[in-house]
Amino acid sequence: MTAEQTAPPAAAPAQPRKGSPWVWAWAAAGFAFLAFLLANARTGLESDRVRNAAVTETPAPRPVPVLFGFEHWLGVLEAFTVVVMVGIIIAYVVAWRRHPYHPVLLMGIVTTLIVWQDPIMNWAPFAVYNPELHHLPEDWPLVSLSPTVEPFVVLGYIMFYLAPYFPGIWLLRKIQARRPVDSFVWRHP
């Protein structure tokens, strides 16, 4: 047996963690797409397809007085949508890092991404939006399916598509707690 002691190998210096180039590429593509949408956003009606040529005032006269005399409801709605969507995207990123592929997270992402189908869904019931909301040009192919305009506030649809899930799942768990595992509420949630 020897009394020789060896020094532990020197720890390798910590290298800074580099992000994947794909993450940066997707982020750049997302920002470019957002910039493209914002550069083409408009308010009011400019397309002959939906504009009433007999109305020359801008904005068009209101058919009813504004709610509580406050004339800035559209701006409040759009600002609220932007703030909430930034918060939701931050929540998605944090949740994805902590619990990737969680069913609630995936459902939230899907309900956010479904807005591309909104012009199709507006066409069937002839749903219309206020043209003073910021929207894409009315003559673009997908957007032209909508009866009037396709505003950006539809990005906030997750707030009412996904919101019923949470009280619904709470109620389901309460009902399931009182029933045996082979009951209807367990077999068909």
What is the domain partition of the chain in residue ranges?
A: 28-161
C-alpha distances in Å from residue 7, one per residue of 10, 13, 14, 58: 8, 17, 20, 82
pLDDT at residue number 2: 64
Q: What is the pTM of this model?
A: 0.64
pLDDT at residue number 17: 63
pLDDT digits (tens, 9 = 90+) for 54-112: 777 777 777 788 889 888 888 888 888 889 888 988 988 898 899 888 888 888 888 88
Q: Is the dihedral of CA 153, 155, 160, 161 positive or negative?
A: positive
pLDDT at residue number 1: 60
Q: Check pLDDT > 70 for residue 12.
A: no
pLDDT at residue number 29: 92
Closest by CA to 104, choosing from 182, 158, 29, 51, is: 158
